[in-house]
Amino acid sequence: MTVKKAASLESEGKVVLPGDEVLRIPEHGQIRIGPGLQQQGSKIVATRPGVVRVAAGSKVWLDSRQRRYVPAEGESVVGVVIDRMGESFNVDINGPSTAALPLLAFEGATRRNRPNLRTGDLVYARVVVAHRDMEPELSCMDVHGTAAGFGPLEGGLPESVTTSHARRLLSQPTPVLLRTLAGGLSFELVVGQNGRVWVNAPDTAATVAVANAIQQSEGLSEKQAATFAQELLNGLQATRAVKTE
């Protein structure tokens, strides 16, 4: 137990590249490897550039930058309806293949009462089935069958970020960037774990400001992001002051 823990913690926080050995498989105990790692013989090797993360001493994975999404069951995503094929919608969720969203996977939907989604509409859904060899399946209901915020997203502005940035936006405590923006504006924000984001605010300028802030804060640290957001807010207030004069 102790030997395994020491080995994992050694590489925690280390930056690795494709082909680098992350750790050796210990003789006793179990290790669960996550995204970005692969077993090659008796070694665990990185398959893309990233930072090694360890949790609970036995779960190891890589934190890496990726624009594309790998569907996983239970995650919430923002998708674009591409077309309707029979009893389900074809939705683009920024993954290796499009996903299927059944017509009846909406709260209160029956054969006579169908959801009114057209090609190009944005939809916030939950991933129900995700397997490497199959097309992922979505649902606009939670496990209990209620809408719970899922469904079509009307109006607003979609934006695209990396999946790691989306995860950071969804983390607790709320990131400084979002807190700063919320201090000066009121807006609605939906962050999909697939790197697709949707912003809606009462007026266009605010919507664009928030969307810009989210997209351009990718490579910034917490402090830089907060400063950036504050500057955006100041600029927005200045233009509004000019308008009212």
Binding mask 192-221 for another protein (x = CB under 8 A): ---------------------------xxx
What is the nearest approach in angstroms of another protein to the Cβ of residue 17? Answer: 5
d(CA 110, CA 102): 11
The one among 97, 234, 237, 239 contacting another protein by CB under 8 A: 97
- Of the pair 21, 203, the CB lying nearest another protein is at 21
d(CA 139, CA 136): 10
Q: Is 231 in the site for another protein (CB under 8 A)?
A: no
Which stretch in 66-74, 102-110, 185-193, 235-243 sits in contact with another protein by CB under 8 A?
Answer: 66-74
CA dihedral (84, 85, 86, 87) positive or negative:
negative
- Of the pair 17, 85, the CB lying nearest another protein is at 17
Task: Look up residue 38 and give its amino acid.
Answer: Q
d(CA 123, CA 198): 10
Q: Is 19 helix (H, G, I), strand (E, B) or coil?
A: coil
**Which residue is associated with the tokens 């029956």?**
110
Task: Look up residue 9 and give its amino acid.
Answer: L
Q: Give the residues lining the site for another protein (CB under 8 A).
A: 13-15, 17-19, 36, 38, 45, 47-51, 53, 63-68, 70, 92, 95-98, 132-133, 164, 168, 219-222, 224
